[in-house]
Structure 1
Amino acid sequence: MSTPLAEAASSGFFDASAYDAYRPSYPDAAVSAFLGHLNTLNTAVGKHGVARIVEIGAGTGKFTELLSRRAVQVAAERDGQAAEILAVEPHPQMRAQLAAKNLPHVTAVDGHSADLSMIEDGTADTVIVAQAFHWFATYEALKEIHRVLKPGSFVGVIWNIEDYNKPAAWQAKTAWEQSLNDIVYSLALDGSPRFRDEKWQKSFEIAAVPDAAANRAALYLPLSDDRVYWTVQLTPEALWKRLLTLSQIANLPEAGPNDEEEAVADTKAQPTSRNTVRRRFDAVLARDDVVYNEQNEVTIHALTFFAWAQKIAV
């Protein structure tokens, strides 16, 4: 299947093993609350019923692993098969990383939100998008998701958002994390949408209101959302590797002609190489207001943001 994939994602996520190793997983409290709102992976479906979960943009399987683990647990509790998880991912390196994990109850397939032709109409109990909906936040994608969902079922979207990669309007917990956020915002724009742009919600707003002039039906009830706050302790090197999984940094050249001039720790001036970003990163981590523990780790503040909408008949 030929599937559209943004150039920034195609090149920025080429090193799928780094993404898988350094991106954070999701806290149990957030996952439980999220799946509860979606009414999925619980024991209420029936003793031997099989829930069909479709995860779009599954990547290397950071969230798929959690779905698989819970499916195994629910199957044991119900003395039957708990779920069939179809993990849809267009990026070949990421899909290969996911498939290599051989997760129970999971089938990894090539596909994209705009074309889920491998899934029959009205056969999915839940559609989930983890850390990816901003890449394809359109009415057309939500219409295709609506097609595969069973009546009254839910689509859910979820993201881990650390303070260094948050929306500009959100307040960082510390001044130095805000400086890292400034570095991220200093990166050259590549035309790709991101969660921090806070534009992805618009597609759900459009999909919740009928528009006769545009021949557009309402597909979902209004979006609901929630969040769970958490922290993680990382060494500077581990934090740097996490930043390198951001496509805007990964796609920069290693070195640039103006590296020396750009070495000044101006976190808001546009860098032209990863070397420059690293120098500014190191300067921030060397500040007096950065607190290290005995393991030479800093505390990163973050949250898991999740939202859900219920399919309505059209």
Structure 2
Amino acid sequence: MSTTLAKAASSGFHDASAYDAHRPSYPDAAVDAFLGHLITPGTAADGKQGAQKIVEIGAGTGKFTEVLSRQAVQAAAKGSGQSLEILAVEPHEQMRAQLAAKKLPHVTVVDGHGANLSMVQDSAADAVIVAQAFHWFANYEALKEIHRVLKPGSSVGVVWNIEDYNKPRAWPAKVAWEQGLNDIIYSLAHDGSPRFRDGQWQEAFAEVAVPDAAANRPALYSPLADDRVYWTVQLTPKALWKRLLTLSQIANLPETGPNDEQEAAAGNTTQPTSRATVRRRFDAVLARDDVARNDKGEVTIHALTFFAWAQKLAA
């Protein structure tokens, strides 16, 4: 099974501190709804009392791990004897270091990959969570490995924050200028890396929800269910640009390129080959008349938290 970190992720997320500073966290309403499908308060998936073990794969710098840690602290404060223990698995060295440095309560940080959870025993996890990362390893091998570590009847959950500038092409933008930003993202060269917006990650779940007699594979999970919670955030144009720079397709571009002048003359009709070209087009969108700003100069970004879950079946 492949445990290689995708090249685009390795290079695109090398500035882990920027990712941690500028990527959004998760709204409480979305967290409560998502975890409600995965964690039953007071009882582990096997029906026994005691600590619930959560494995988070692709934990990154800990944007969702922080949420889980707060949940664990709150559970401990109730004094009911119940608790959450989180194993945060992250293959990217810089991101893992950023997360470990936070020293989050009830969190153990380890090196690992979705297709290699050798540090977790069979049927040990009450839930497996993947936040903002499953598209990087959406394959049978990873879902089989997750199935191995889940307790009978427990579930795997995946969650993403999706802002309108980085949405799937078929999803309508709330306002026209945000569609303009989305068009910039789609004008970038495709580097071959999977992303949420291409929808291919769903195919991995579809594959494991039905038996494959030819390959002698039983169904591993129930059919995928999903939901979403909508939200907005106000950002200055500078902060919004820094958030776009955390996207690997932009982060991996050179700062300037030999074709910058030609790309400037061509307007928006050519594929950007540098961050300078992307920034020029970004500035042009933010200068449009339909961009509303508050008295702080901030613009409203429309977004949603998309989450999905599937229950382990007996293999």
Q: CA RMSD in A?
A: 1.5
Counterpart-to-counterpart distance in 1, 2:214 and 2:39: 34
Counterpart for residue 36 of structure 1: 36
The alpha carbon displacement at 1:109 in A equals 0.2
Contact 2:87/2:107, CA 8 A, preserved across alignment: yes
The alpha carbon displacement at 1:214 in A equals 1.2
Q: How has the CA–CA distance of structure 1 residues 96 and 268 changed in structure 2, closer, same or farther, with 3 Å as cutoff?
A: farther
Counterpart for residue 19 of structure 1: 19
Counterpart-to-counterpart distance in 1, 2:16 and 2:269: 29
Larger deviation, residues 7-16 vs 71-80: 71-80
**Count, aligned residues:** 312
Counterpart for residue 264 of structure 2: 263
Secondary structure in structure 2 of the residue aligned to 1:38: coil
Contact 1:49/1:82, CA 8 A, preserved across alignment: yes
Secondary structure in structure 2 of the residue aligned to 1:263: helix
Q: Which sections of structure 2, spanning at least 5 residues, go unmatched?
A: none
In structure 2, give the amino acid aligned to 1:242: R
Counterpart-to-counterpart distance in 2, 1:212 and 1:268: 48
Counterpart for residue 190 of structure 1: 191
Q: Is 1:8 the counterpart of 2:3 in the alignment? A: no
Q: How has the CA–CA distance of structure 1 residues 13 and 213 changed in structure 2, closer, same or farther, with 3 Å as cutoff?
A: same
The alpha carbon displacement at 1:3 in A equals 4.1
Matches within 5 A, 1:119-130: 119-130=120-131
Q: Is 1:114 the counterpart of 2:108 in the alignment? A: no
Counterpart-to-counterpart distance in 2, 1:14 and 1:286: 31
Counterpart-to-counterpart distance in 2, 1:225 and 1:269: 36
Counterpart-to-counterpart distance in 2, 1:265 and 1:150: 56
In structure 2, give the amino acid aligned to 1:29: A
Q: Is 1:294 the counterpart of 2:295 in the alignment? A: yes
Counterpart-to-counterpart distance in 1, 2:189 and 2:68: 35
Contact 2:232/2:300, CA 8 A, preserved across alignment: yes
Contact 1:38/1:126, CA 8 A, preserved across alignment: yes
Contact 1:265/1:280, CA 8 A, preserved across alignment: no
Matches within 5 A, 1:36-185: 36-40=36-40, 42-45=41-44, 49-80=50-81, 82-185=83-186
The alpha carbon displacement at 1:265 in A equals 7.8
The alpha carbon displacement at 1:81 in A equals 5.3
Contact 1:185/1:268, CA 8 A, preserved across alignment: no
The alpha carbon displacement at 1:47 in A equals 10
| TM-score of the two chains, using structure 1 as the length reference | 0.97
The alpha carbon displacement at 1:268 in A equals 5.2
